[in-house]
Amino acid sequence: MINQVKIGLAEAITLLVITMATKLFLTYPLIIVSRGGSAAWQIVIISGLVTLVFFWLILKYIERFPDRSFPETAEYISGPYFGGLLVMVLLLPWLFELTMTFRRFGEMIVIIALPETSIGLIMLIFFCGAGLAAYLGLSTIARACHLVFPFTLGAALLIVAFSYSNWDTDWLFPIFGNGPWITIKEGVIQSSAFYELSFIYALPLVFYAHQIKKIGYTSIIVTTVILTTMVLAYLLAFPAVVGEEPYLPLYNMARSVYLGRFIQRIEAIFLLFWVISGYLWVSVGVYGLCHILKDWLKLPDHRPLVLPALIIVFALAFIPQSLPDAVLKTGEYFNNIAFIPIFGLPLLLLLLAVLLGKGGKNNAEK
Amino acid sequence: MQLKHWANKILGYNGPPASMDFELAETKEEQQSASQAGQEENVPASKSRQHKIRKPRKTGPGGDNGNASSTDDTVIQPGGTGAGDNPERSKPGSAPQEIQVALETNRKIIAQLFNLPINKDVIVREFTLSTEPPVPAFLIFIDGMADTRLINDSILQPLMLLTNLEPGLGIWPDTCTNVLQKHLPSNQVKKLTLFEDVVTQVLSGATAIFFDDCSCAISAETKGFPFREVDTAKTEQVVQGPQEGFVENLRSNTALVRRIIHSEQLITEYLEVGMRNNNNVAIMYMADLTNPALVQEVKRRIRGIKTDYLAESGVLEEFIEDHPLSLMPQIIKTERPDRVSSMLLEGKVAIIVDNTPFVMLVPGLLFDFLHSSEDHYVRFSNGIWLRVIRLFAVFLTILLPAFYVAIATFHQEMIPTDLLLSIAAAREMVPFPTIVEILLMELSFELVREAGVRVPGIIGPTLGIVGTLILGQAAVAASIVSPILIIIVAVTGLSSYAIPNYAAAFGFRFMRFIFIFLAAVLGFFGISSGLFMMLCLLLNMKSFGVPYLAPVSPKTASSHDLILRFPAWQQENRPDYQQTLDTRRQPELSRGWATRQSAKPPGNKANKEGD
Amino acid sequence: MQKNSRLRLTAALLTLLVLLFAAGCGSNFEPDALSYVLLIGIDNGAQNLLRVSYLIAVPKVIAGGGQGGGGGGGGEGQRSAEVITVEAPSIYASMNMVNSFVGRKISLMHAKGIIFSEAMAKDGSMSVIVPGLTQFRETRGTAFIAVARQKPEEILTKMTPFLESNPAKYIELLAGNQSFTGYIPGEKLQDFYNDLKIGGINPVSLLFAVSDENLPPHNGQSSYRSEGDYIAGEMVKKGGVFLEAMGAAVFREGKMVGTLNGDETSIYSMFRGQYDRRIYTIKDPLKPGNLVIMDVSQADKPRIKIKLTGEGPIIEARLSLEGNVLGVNSLIDYSLPRYRSLLEQAFEELIEQQARDLVEKTQQEYRSDIIGFGNKARRLVLTQKDWEQLNWPALFEEAQVSVDVEYKIRRTGTLLRLMPVARSSD
């Protein structure tokens, strides 16, 4: 049995923030703007607040079972069969989102950089890079996140700063967009965007137990701030009607930068950071998948699982036949319901544990 | 377990490499306090490391080393007696271990050990001590290694002529001790009882003296072989700062370091490597600073080497480094004593191999390779500037040609129209695609560089300039490459020389080709993929238990000496990742005179020093 | 054994990669395998739907500009950019069609602008094509968009700068001159598209015309005419480039409904906050026969307030400008406070008048809210549904607009005082 790798506070926070915020480079602003119109930025804030509440409950669950992995807890609480089912409930959406994001990153590169290259080749390269990182393990990925985070954030903020000349505060009105009730409803639903937070309760043992609380709250708040800033900047630069259209909103924003004859045409530079954060996202996903499987199957090491898992993800990623399918259709399914399994799962377990009197102080003998 | 077996079979998976086992970890308390304070670290939980599934892989040597080497010994040496217990010290030629009583027997054994009639370098001189009764004796030394004048004056003369002053019964029975104490005016003598030691001593230039009827020998220090004088450092030059460099002689090298660090805590340990040759390897470290685990690990690795001989420190480097397949060096090699001393005071361990002017320092981390000792000798603002330039140079070296290829062939929308049109115009008559063009130029640049090194003497630099200029000019004139490309290649070449470490510069230069290839195939996506993989591999690397990108990732407490060099009086801490025993270089208030209190003399000052 | 299998795996992966690389990743083009379009001209076709013209840069002439002299001089040497026109059903098809007689692949990556014919702008087909242009990867939202009063291919043919060897530079600089002339709007393709899509504003575009290069004979009856009182094609000029960019084309519901002259365009820019600075020549308020020349720049962003009342919206706009007196023909010392305030007031009234005229023109004649009062009106409603119910285009036409201009003279050129000229007769 390999020693459990632990990652430190700053690494854990950046890991979660990078994974949760990377969707900015993909379709997230588009989805949010299409739901909320000119009030899209409020949706982000509401979903952040909702996620904070959910996390408070998740924390209760984690504190009750401090030194068990997720499959262990699930099986401990609800028996091996139902517990196995619960692990599947965790794994399947995970696999689904991983697959789709994998595909979306591939499509992103086709659109931004390599319009005439086959997506198979691009995704194969992605496969190798993410596979390497997942194989090297969580500490490498977490350190990479920690190292890359300031640069990626800087690049994103640079886009915001450069697009300043295009800003028009009129685009933020009407202030309530499609109506306050829609905004609140979408705010709850869009807490699905904090999907990657499930990393905390699915792999609780990679964090230092006493830091989990801080990690969770900080990363949610930081992510909400980043997402809000970017969505707000996007809304300022493009009116809501137009903002719903592009596949890669931030790419469009970078393309619209024109500060004289020299500072323009800068979008390809951002590609560097976007690709790297895409790699990080996929490798975190693959690593998490392998890690949960490892815990579930009680294997000593996650490494042998990396290649098979990647091959499955790779194969599944080609199922949607077109880009709009990979974004709109799956987004509809996923974004609307994902928050139920993500945040419902630990709550269900917590509820069962309380009812059955397992875990916590009753668990002293363990 | 079945699954694991199959996984192993299919994927060739063998678990993490052995080198990942050692970790220069913080102490338990430090870990606790650090994790509380929000410092991140990557220390595994306390459980014992059990993951040793590599064992069966090593079918050859490995677990049953002892047997293998001892059988080797017995094949060569019929008289060998179980040298296998101590494999690294076992060597051919140690017939009977103990020195015999009879002088004649000893002579024969010596003759056998040194292949005497054939080997003309080894001189055996028989003589008699002029005591009553006279004691026959002989001494042995290697011509050229020992100072013959010294042997004449301070060994033969006193023993042959002056021993008759011995009163009474003569020198017997305790010949050795008596001679040692009364008759040998040599400053470094040793009493030896094993032939093995005799051979080692003689080979390193000492003179061994055997006496009749005595089961021990005396070795007297008579080293006197020729070596190069201390000269200026050739490969790491500085404008301001000490100019001397190490030489081939091990003793001179340790002396050069010791001359800088006047501390009784500076320890020099000697190890021997090489089954056929016995290279002397010295390890230097500060006993009160360096983490003992690090010293232990260095010794463990060096002792674990089984090889014929070490030609140079580079060979030893390959034997002990963590990731021999990596492009980046993980051990600092320097020929500057001042650099070695400052590194020793940071808690690193120096490894000095005999016969090479390059001293190795471990652990070597990425940022160490970008530092030059001169950064500290110039004013701090200049030092920062030097470092920034150098960091810039690293990125240019790795990425500039790749960027050019990516932009010119994939992302034409990125460049200003004017520049794009002039690139297109410059390529008008060029028959090759951009990638061929750039490879052609890069390869010829490498050629010029390599030829410049090999060409004898003073022609070298001239060849470099002439080669580059004329080749570039002619290539442009002949429309083989475009003029913009010459600029790219020239800037890249310059940047690669701005990297102070030779090995690191090599690594970066090689990486450049990988990135050129990636850029030619996939443009910016290729470059960023390459960067990501490079980052992951670098992050995964360790040098002697310290993460390779240490001060940056995992982030440790700053020693104010990374990319930005702070003024000397602000560099209060030693690098945290070295896990030194004493973490502070100087108190917070290092400039005593700068405070108002210090104007009033003794009382305060004494207090401060007490801290 | 296991070591071997790892080696084999690596080898297999590498072979696979190399094969894939070899199989094709055809996104790369040598820079000299592309032909760079600098300007696109689009017109109705005679036989097919569109007649598309491309201004294609000739790199060897541009880069060899040093010895080649003025590549565009006309007579000798090759032009630095060539115009190619084809008829095609769509723009992208026309690119392929051009490549049936041009060797290098057409690339729109460096297209600096798109010029439509007036006919296309008027029948609304321009607004049909623009969204397609923003969807294409190569065209950029930062290209300018213009309407040509003549045939676009004619405009492209006249695009022979005499200063720059590179027409791209000329085009970009020309469009950027908005910042100190104010005669043209700063509207880019992306802005045009945005304005087209949303309800609160209507788009405008640049106006290009071929100049007739004809200097009328002197008849001794010259009179004052504001420098902005021209539309492209009407200016009296000769030499340089045979083109004029002045004024703007106004659109309503995607169709061009009229033009603005240079002065009106300046006012339009002031309302939209895009105005930077320009030079105004006005009649001297104290000695009407004389002129005052001022460099007027924007002091503050315009403030526009809208109230909804029963009789329609009431709009209050406030423009703040500041200026620098460059020349005073009448020799009145406008640095003295008593004269200065008079001058300021006169200029404020002038701009207010022009602004009211412009608003009236847009309300009555063009019935198109190009100034974007609608965008400000969005603040009055809470939700998108309310906004749609508001029906702004109808409200706009009956809006009461009052304009208040605030003008301050900050400095008076290099001279602090202006002394009268000594005249013997007085």
User: What is the band of A231 on the pLDDT scale with cuts at 50, 70, 90?
Assistant: very high
CATH tag, C276-421: 3.30.300.210
pLDDT per position as a tens digit, C224-267: 888 888 888 888 888 888 888 899 999 988 899 999 999 999 99
Cβ–Cβ of B524/A272 closer than 8 Å? yes
Query: Residue C235: what pLDDT?
Result: 87
Q: Is the pLDDT of residue B54 over 50?
A: no
Three-state DSSP class for residue A363: helix
Residues of B in contact with C57 (CB under 8 A): 417, 421
Share of chain C above pLDDT 90, in %: 32
From CA C185, how far away is CA C176, in angstroms rounded? Answer: 10
Mean pLDDT score, B204-215 = 85
The 3-class secondary structure across C147-160, one letter per residue, is EECCCHHHHHHHCC
Instruction: Give φ, ψ of C373 to 5 degrees.
Output: -60, -30
Q: Omega before B173 cis (within 30°)?
A: yes
Cβ–Cβ of C385/A120 closer than 8 Å? no
Give yes or no for B521 touching C (CB within 8 A): yes
From CA B367, how far away is CA B361, in angstroms rounded? Answer: 14
Q: Omega before B133 cis (within 30°)?
A: yes
Query: Residue B423: what pLDDT?
Result: 87
Question: Which chains form contacts with chain A, at 3 or more CB pairs under 8 Å?
Answer: B, C
Residues of A in contact with C9 (CB under 8 A): none
Q: Which of C30, C35, C55 to mutate to test the interface with B (most CBs of B within 10 A)?
A: C30
Q: Is the pLDDT of residue C426 over 60?
A: no
Cβ–Cβ of C375/A168 closer than 8 Å? yes
Q: Which residues make Cβ contacts (< 8 Å) with residue B228, sequence separation at least 6?
A: B247, B248, B249
Residues of C in contact with B410 (CB under 8 A): 27-28
Q: Do the interacting molecules here have an ipTM over 0.90?
A: yes
Number of H helices, E strands in chain B: 20, 12
pLDDT per position as a tens digit, B165-175: 666 555 556 77
Residues of C in contact with A268 (CB under 8 A): none
**Average pLDDT score over chain C:** 86
Q: Could you tell me whether strands C400-411 and C312-328 are parallel, antiparallel, or unpaired per DSSP bridges? A: parallel
Q: Is the pLDDT of residue B164 over 70?
A: no
pLDDT per position as a tens digit, B532-586: 999 999 999 889 888 898 888 777 777 777 777 888 888 888 888 888 888 888 8
**Among the residues of B261-379, which ranges form H helices?**
292-303, 313-320, 337-344, 374-377
Contacting B with CB below 8 Å, chain C residues are: 2-9, 21, 25, 27-32, 34, 36, 38, 57, 59-60, 62-64, 107, 109-110, 112, 138, 140, 166, 168-169, 172
Q: Which of A124, A177, A238 sits opposite C383 (nearest CB)?
A: A177
Cβ–Cβ of A261/B416 closer than 8 Å? yes
Query: Residue A79: what pLDDT?
Result: 83
In angstroms, what separates the C-alpha of A312 from chain B's closest C-alpha? 16
Per-range mean pLDDT, top range of B43-57, B68-82, B335-349: B335-349
From CA A246, how far away is CA A231, in angstroms rounded? Answer: 14
Query: Residue A1: what pLDDT?
Result: 40
Residues of B in contact with A123 (CB under 8 A): none
Cβ–Cβ of A113/B539 closer than 8 Å? no
Cβ–Cβ of C197/A239 closer than 8 Å? yes
pLDDT per position as a tens digit, C290-338: 888 999 999 888 999 998 888 888 999 999 999 998 888 888 888 888 8
Cβ–Cβ of A170/C375 closer than 8 Å? yes
Query: Residue A312: what pLDDT?
Result: 93
Q: Which residues make Cβ contacts (< 8 Å) with residue B159, sequence separation at least 6?
A: B127, B129, B137, B179, B183, B184, B209
Higher pLDDT, A147 or B5: A147
User: What is the band of A48 on the pLDDT scale with cuts at 50, 70, 90?
Assistant: very high
pLDDT per position as a tens digit, B505-531: 999 999 999 999 888 888 899 999 999
Higher pLDDT, C421 or B2: C421
Q: Is the pLDDT of residue A246 over 90?
A: no
Residues of B in contact with C113 (CB under 8 A): none
Give yes or no for A141 touching B (CB within 8 A): yes
Q: In terms of CA atoms, which chain C residue is nearest residue A114?
A: C27
Give yes or no for C21 touching A (CB within 8 A): yes
Mean pLDDT score, B450-476 = 78
Query: Residue A289: what pLDDT?
Result: 92
Q: Which of A116, A175, A239 sits opposite C198 (nearest CB)?
A: A239
Query: Residue C66: what pLDDT?
Result: 43
Query: Residue C321: what pLDDT?
Result: 92
pLDDT per position as a tens digit, A142-171: 999 999 999 999 999 998 999 888 888 888
Q: Is the pLDDT of residue A26 over 70?
A: yes
pLDDT per position as a tens digit, B175-187: 777 777 777 887 8
Q: Return the closest-CA partner of residue A46 out of A222, A242, A191, A214.
A: A191
What is the rounded end-to-end Cα distance, in angstroms, of chain C? 115
CB atoms within 10 A of CB B581: 14
Cβ–Cβ of A174/C381 closer than 8 Å? yes
Q: Which of C21, C30, C57 sits opposite B434 (nearest CB)?
A: C30
Q: Is the pLDDT of residue B75 over 80?
A: no
From CA B431, how far away is CA B152, in angstroms rounded? Answer: 76
Domains along chain A?
A: 9-358 (1.20.1740.10)
Q: Which of A242, A247, A303 to mutate to test the interface with C (most CBs of C within 10 A)?
A: A242
Three-state DSSP class for residue B533: helix
Q: Fill in the amino acid letter for B378.
A: V
User: What is the band of A285 on the pLDDT scale with cuts at 50, 70, 90?
Assistant: very high
Question: Which chains form contacts with chain B, at 3 or more CB pairs under 8 Å?
Answer: A, C
Q: Which residues make Cβ contacts (< 8 Å) with residue B437, sequence separation at least 6?
A: B430, B480, B481, B482, B485
pLDDT per position as a tens digit, A65-98: 888 888 888 888 888 888 889 888 888 888 988 9
Residues of A in contact with C141 (CB under 8 A): 252, 255-256
From CA B377, how far away is CA B389, in angstroms rounded? Answer: 17
Domain ranges of chain C: 31-215+226-271, 276-421
SS3 content of chain A, % helix, strand, coil (to 5): 80, 0, 15
pLDDT per position as a tens digit, C20-56: 666 556 678 888 889 999 999 999 989 999 999 999 9
User: What is the band of B324 on the pLDDT scale with cuts at 50, 70, 90?
Assistant: confident
Cβ–Cβ of B35/A8 closer than 8 Å? yes
Q: Is the pLDDT of residue A361 over 70?
A: no
What the block records as the tokens of C77 is 């040497």
Mean pLDDT score, B254-258 = 88
Question: Which chains form contacts with chain C, at 3 or more CB pairs under 8 Å?
Answer: A, B
Give the residue carrying structure tokens 């904090």: A194
Mean pLDDT score, A243-257 = 87
Share of chain C above pLDDT 70, in %: 93
How many CB contacts within 8 angstroms connect chain B with chain C?
A: 95
Query: Residue C423: what pLDDT?
Result: 66
Cβ–Cβ of B420/C110 closer than 8 Å? yes
Q: Is the pLDDT of residue B445 over 90?
A: no
Q: In terms of CA atoms, which chain C residue is nearest residue A116?
A: C27
Give yes or no for C17 touching A (CB within 8 A): yes
Q: Which of B532, B535, B553, B555 to mutate to test the interface with A (most CBs of A within 10 A)?
A: B532
Cβ–Cβ of A147/B553 closer than 8 Å? yes
pLDDT per position as a tens digit, B88-115: 344 444 455 788 888 888 888 888 888 8
Cβ–Cβ of B16/A113 closer than 8 Å? no
Contacting C with CB below 8 Å, chain A residues are: 37-38, 111, 113-118, 120-121, 124, 128, 166, 168, 170, 173-180, 238-239, 241-242, 252, 255-258, 260-261, 264-265
Q: Is the pLDDT of residue B595 over 70?
A: yes
Residues of C in contact with B14 (CB under 8 A): 2, 6
Query: Residue B603: what pLDDT?
Result: 47
pLDDT per position as a tens digit, C117-129: 999 999 989 989 9
Which helix (H) or strand (E) segment holds residue B415: the answer is none
How many CB contacts within 8 angstroms connect chain A with chain C?
A: 87
